[in-house]
Amino acid sequence: VIPSYLAQSNTNFLYGMGAASAKTRAGQDTVLIEEVFGRENPLVLLVPREDSGKEAELSGRLESIPHITSVISYATAVGAEIPPQYVPQEVYDQFYSDHYARIVLYADTADEGEQAFGMVQAVLDTAKEHYGTCYLTGQSAALFDMRSVVEVDTGIVNLVAIIGIFLVILITFRSLTIPIFLVFSIETAIWINLSIAYFTDNTLSFIGYLIISTVQLGATVDYAILLSNHYLADRKIMPKKEAMLKALSENLSAILVSAGILAAAGFTLAATSGNPIVSELGTLLGRGTILSFVMVVCVLPALLLIFDKVIEKTTIKSEFYKHKRRENRGA
């Protein structure tokens, strides 16, 4: 459990469409273009309009950043020593507005990835050393901001989803421990599902991660609820092992059919979709459903049997069956 949790926490995600579309016709055409003309990743940096000397110094610093291939500013294209009145207005307007100066950067990185995000961070750090305020735009900058935001928001969203399902199960079963075992079983399946990308050194689309984190939890927790509900009902009239065997025998086929349909739908989507992100989503859904099924029919029953006494004490009106021992007394 712990390795899968740590692995899925370190999985690399794709936040845009560029790197994920390499198998499509557009992606293949992009590869051919880059082979002939090279890769070009444009960015635009806006800094407060101040003296041209500071702008020239910043431009020089930006050119020294790894993966920056070109810097176009008033200082580099026209010259900081040339007065604005000697420059055509249409040229001057390309670099200055009333309050800001524009600096165009070109990099040889992909739109996203460690190199691209490292380059964006270096540009921002360098600009902030010279100016208190700066704005950076472009595909890499937008994806960098997106990653910074969702890394915090995703943890909150997942926590809220888990708490919500936990509370629903808590109210339904009137038990403090049943929700823990149910959510633990499904969350472990989700962690294993997402950790496979880490162990195989692959990246995941972030939108796929978001969908699977919620859909797999919401869709497959029903299997655990169904099994646990029948187990608790049977536990009132028979010992724990017999109750679990009866619950499994009565509900295994229903769980198997439901999981089989969902898994088949996911793998069919993966096999038929030409969009790599949609195909990846289908694979995650199919694989995640199978993992959830295995956890529910193999791990969850063991947890319910091992912690049977704990469940009895933490469940309101559990009324578990008590096996009475008969003693043979000699006359």
| Three-state secondary structure of the chain | CHHHHHHHHCCCEECCCCHHHCCCHHHHHHHHHHHHHCCCEEEEEEEECCCHHHHHHHHHHHHCCCCEEEEECHHHHHHCCCCHHHCCHHHHCCCECCCEEEEEEEECCCCCCHHHHHHHHHHHHHHHHHCCCCEEECHHHHHHHHHHHHHHHHHHHHHHHHHHHHHHHHHHHCECCHHHHHHHHHHHHHHHHHHHHHHCCCCEEHHHHHHHHHHHHHHHHHHHHHHHHHHHHHHCCCCHHHHHHHHHHHHHHHHHHHHHHHHHHHHHHHHHCCCHHHHHHHHHHHHHHHHHHHHHHHHHHHHHHHCHHHHHHCECCCCCCCCCCCCCCCC
The pLDDT, as a whole number, for residue 208 is: 81
Please report the domains of the chain, with CATH numbers, ordered by start residue: 38-137 (3.30.70), 151-313 (1.20.1640.10)
Considering the entire predicted model, what is its pTM? Answer: 0.79
Averages of pLDDT over runs of 10 residues in the chain (331 residues) are 85 71 68 79 92 86 92 84 81 88 92 90 93 91 88 81 90 92 92 91 83 84 92 92 94 94 94 85 93 94 94 88 55 38
